[in-house]
Amino acid sequence: MLRIKLVGSPVANKPANRRTVEALGLKKMHQVVEHKDDASVRGMIRKVRHLLEVEEVKE
């Protein structure tokens, strides 16, 4: 599992980056969500890594 926290504002970023943050389920600053560790989620994280804090957690 991956714990993902939104630490940077997507407002001043490209629309594609805003949609990626929204697709991860993040709507507000400092909101935390958990996702399974798979290739699609890792790809989204890589695209907007400058806005996120990510940590691996054991299930």
Pinpoint the alpha helices (H) of the chain.
15-23, 39-47
In this prediction the pTM is 0.92
Q: How confident is the model at residue 22 (pLDDT cuts 50, 70, 90)?
A: very high
Q: How confident is the model at residue 59 (pLDDT cuts 50, 70, 90)?
A: confident
| 24-36 residue pLDDT tens | 999 999 999 999 9
Q: What integer pLDDT is reported at residue 8 of this predicted model?
A: 95
Other beta carbons less than 10 A from residue 45's beta carbon: 18
SS3 10: coil
Q: What integer pLDDT is reported at residue 6 of this predicted model?
A: 98
